[in-house]
Amino acid sequence: MAENWKSANWDELVSGASCPVCEVIQSAAQEDAHGFAVVDLKLSRLFLAKNQYVAGYCTLLCRQHVIEPYELTSADRVAFFDDLSLIGKGLQQAFKADKLNYQILGNMVPHLHVHVVPRYFTDDAPHRPIDPWHQQVYLSPTEYAERIALIQTHLGLG
């Protein structure tokens, strides 16, 4: 029998009572254990992942605590997906990705967020999704700052 992926504190996470994404969104910190804040947009905050095994891997976090896109009002859903479209274009241009994968998961942390994974014809997972955590590649503080500036430039912010 397959192992159940529901965590012991699932109901608290769903309610937002102990949501780690809400904590990150409400914090003024520009860095957490997983990434670096890049930009605040209409309804989201973009983070560059610390693990850059996949160059340009980012996560877009919704600033509202909802689990699914359909829980947003129509206007907020448009704003969130406009944010996603903007950062997708910026990431593809910044990192010269051949394709972007957008993953809306949430079975670990039930808060609307999108993993944006640049794909390259040369990556090691042709014909299947790539696991951005397959290996760990950490950069120097200068290299992270350069990537953040590159993204901001391609978003028209730099």
Taking only the tens place, the pLDDT of each residue in 24-43 is: 999 999 999 999 999 999 99
What pLDDT does 11 receive? 87
CB contact at 8 A, 98 and 119? yes
What DSSP letter does each residue of 56-116 carry, written as one string?
T-EEEEESS--SSGGGS-HHHHHHHHHHHHHHHHHHHHHHT-SEEEEEE--SSS-S-EEEE
Cα–Cα dist 122/57, whole Å: 16
**pTM beyond cutoff 0.85:** yes
Asked if residue 158 has pLDDT above 90, the reply is no
The residue behind tokens 């947003």 is: 72
- Sketch out the chain's domains with CATH numbers: 10-154 (3.30.428.10)
